[in-house]
Amino acid sequence: MKTYLLEEMTWPEIKEALERGVDTVIIYAASIEQHGPALPEMTDTTLGYAEAVDLAKRLGNALAAPVIRPGLSKHHLGFPGSITLRPEVFKGVVEDYIASYVHHGFKKVILCASHGGNFQTIDAIAEEQAQKYPDVCIVAGCSLDELDASLAEMEVLEGLPVGTCGGHACDWETSIMMALDENYVRRDKLQAGYVGALTGELLQRFFEKGVNSVSEIGVMGDPTGAEAERGQRYFAYLQDMQEAAVRKHIREWEEQRKGVNRKEQ
């Protein structure tokens, strides 16, 4: 059996992988939260698994940790079912994941978010933990700004109106979920939410007053034209961007490490 998911492996298989030189663990932080009337609450978790496994294949010598869920979803509590962790609890879980994998001998830890509300905290944790374990390469994946920029680029490439990929249960997320499994999507419930520019003021309201203050159905964007084939294109495009970001962060860590070693000599 060949799997990239640590939770599907036995301990002797993991031991053997480490001895073979597998040195990287990829940790995705997702969410359990409302995704409008057509997508399940597990959407970000499902995306997290798909992205983590794909990234592990791309990087080589890497395995994917169990996706962390729930995450930071306070702004989604206006809708039934969403769970949110207190920031200190979330932080503690991520830190304990890192401590466990470092204990087992992983030399590189990649922290990624498959939920918008986790990005900032993940970036901060990566920085802090890199200080705590100077011999381990601990880096974050792409930033939320890089993700938003990629979504805007994809809209242009696909010839879609501005705001179609508003970032939540939109054309992007719905198309990728269709690509992963058509059964995830309630096609007859697809409905446009807020469609338009994501201004700073709007995003502030989104996070502080809750998603329902911007969109009554909890959707940012327009998923009504979503399709599985476009989902595959979104996925490849975004994973290219994620891989490039991760490789860049690893290179930067290695450069910095070389500088430190030179100083110590």
Q: Applying CB under 5 A, what is the total number of residues that bind Zn ion?
A: 2
Q: How are beta strands 24-29 and 62-64 bridged, if at all? A: parallel
Which backbone phi and psi does 68 adopt, to 5 degrees? -80, 125
The tokens for 66 are 């169990």
Residue 8 CB, shortest distance to Zn ion, in Å, is 24
- Region near Zn ion per CB under 5 A, out of 40-48, 92-100, 174-182, 246-254: 40-48
For residue 62, the SS3 value is: strand
The tokens for 115 are 């939920």
Residue 241 CB, shortest distance to Zn ion, in Å, is 17
Residues in the chain: 265
Smaller CB separation from Zn ion, 17 or 143: 143
Question: What distance in Å separates the CA atoms of residue 43 and residue 176, rounded to the nearest whole number?
Answer: 10
Smaller CB separation from Zn ion, 44 or 222: 44
Residue 99 CB, shortest distance to Zn ion, in Å, is 28
Question: What distance in Å separates the CA atoms of residue 6 and residue 22, rounded to the nearest whole number?
Answer: 12
Residue 128 CB, shortest distance to Zn ion, in Å, is 25
Q: Which residue is nearest to Zn ion (CB)?
A: 44
Indicate the burial class of 18 (C-beta count within 10 angstroms; 0-12, 13-18, 19 or more).
middle
Smaller CB separation from Zn ion, 43 or 215: 43
Residue 168 CB, shortest distance to Zn ion, in Å, is 6
- Residue choice 41, 44, 54, 222 for contact with Zn ion (CB under 5 A): 44
- Region near Zn ion per CB under 5 A, out of 36-44, 53-61, 192-200, 228-236: 36-44
Q: Decide if residue 222 touches Zn ion (CB under 5 A).
A: no
CB 258 within 8 A of CB 137: no
Q: Which residues bind Zn ion (CB under 5 A)?
A: 43-44
